[in-house]
Homo-oligomer: A and B are copies of this chain.
Amino acid sequence: MVNNRSFDPHVAVELLRELRHLTADESGAQRVAFTETWSAARNWFQSKLVGFPFEYHRDAAGNHWVTLKGISDRVLIIGSHLDSVPNGGWLDGALGVLAGYAILYHFAISKVTPAVTIRLVDWADEEGARFGRSLFGSSAFAGTHSIEADRGRTDKTGVSLESALAEIEIDIDKIGEASNERANARGYLELHIEQGPVLEKLGLSLGAVTGTKGVERHVIVFRGQEAHSGSTPMTLRRDALAAAAKLALEIRQIAMKHVDAVCTMGSLKTYPGIVTAVVGRAEATLDQRDLDAHVLAHMLQEAKTASDRFAAEEGCSVEWCRIWNIEPLPFHPELIELCEEAIREITGASYRLPSGPLHDAAEVSRLGIPTAMMFVQSLGGISHNCIEDTREADLLLALRAFHLLTVKTILWIASQPD
């Protein structure tokens, strides 16, 4: 079917370099959604479609869709995002979009009509870097968007998300119409850099992603008694920092009981926060993630119980306030299997791992559309930073394996009963 000429992974790598040249400065990629640089990136991408038999349009939420009609109306979606964080990396998101492009390009120049229709989507504002709302476009697609909350969002300068949308002629009240794009969708694939150190530590190039972890995100406030650091004996203190410090260490023990679980205290603030006063109030954030909903719930309960114990030990009170949570979104078992197969056939080894970071794939999987993701090794596990990088050899392996996964998935979709 696609064997008349072999798939060329260099197409995507060269385009990635071109995109970097166009949209990065010395601080990194600047393709923040709803900025001029982002529009420039998308216009550049659109220019690469000219002369090919692709249908192209933007949906009601600003997602860009490129369609190559197949023999069947059944649709395989390949997606990722061109937007980046400020001072971001060259691969985060862009790799997946350009991998999809390379696959469409390969079908087009081979003049092969695929067995199923292939659609490439560049999701709008995966990062949420400007307005704090990540997965903007894919959540509109999935129907988990929140227009009333989104209407109130502003950037650092006070510009509203609503007016930024209006500027590119998107009506915030209509973003839910992006769900029309779901028609006939029978599978979703995404290639992404790992953004973590696991594959590098194992000496592996690629991994099959088992799903995105559920997340519990809380603010925890310990209240003790502000007191003079010179006149208050150690035994008479109610030190809110001590209680928070105990929790900062305990959450690590809680996470370590489970394979792949993580717990992070990313922020700790002390009040009054001066050198001469015992801390009267300590505000910590806690981010807990696991792919198993039961494990996640159990870790949350353990952290709460521990915080109560530490507060009591230190004569403090403790209060929890949920910032946000999302359930674990496991991917499709058969597609994970195909992904692992493709990786094994290309690299000789394979590995499964959950994704800690969220991805648009989670929103798609939530709809019941069979979903899989492939990760490629990130050097140093570093992302969201101008030094984000992946060895060229690994990029080429990733593109080959992802192409193979696409072929396998097309056959899988075609073979499914109605």
Contacts and interface: CB of A to CB of B under 8 A. Distances in A.
A229 B262 contact: yes
A266 B279 contact: yes
Q: How many copies does the complex hold?
A: 2
Interface in A228-278: 228-236, 239, 241-242, 244-246, 248-249, 252, 255-256, 260-270, 272-278
Contacts of A356: 228-232
Residue from the set A267, A275, A278 with the largest chain B CB neighbour count within 10 Å: A275
A323 B276 CA distance: 12
A286 B275 CA distance: 7
Interface in A156-179: none
Interface stretch (A76-84, A97-105, A109-117, A193-201): A193-201
B275 A229 contact: no
Contact of A229 (B230, B270, B287, B355): B287
B262 A273 contact: no
Interface in A302-322: none
A365 interface: no
Interface string A365-401: 0000000000000000111100000000000000000
User: Chain A at the B interface: mostly helix, strand, loop or mixed?
Assistant: mixed
Contacts of A272: 266
A11 interface: no
Contact of A266 (B195, B277, B358): B277
Contact of A236 (B231, B266, B273, B381): B381
Interface in A57-83: none
Nearest to A213: B230
A217 interface: yes
A357 B231 contact: yes
Size class of the contact patch on chain A: 35 or more
A266 B256 CA distance: 30
A227 interface: yes
Contacts of A239: 252
A275 B270 contact: no
Contacts of A233: 196-198, 260, 262
A229 B279 contact: no
A383 B262 contact: no
Nearest to A277: B266
A186 interface: no
Contacts of A232: 196-197, 262, 356, 381
Interface of A: 194-198, 201, 213, 215, 217, 227-236, 239, 241-242, 244-246, 248-249, 252, 255-256, 260-270, 272-279, 282, 285-287, 289, 323, 355-358, 381-384
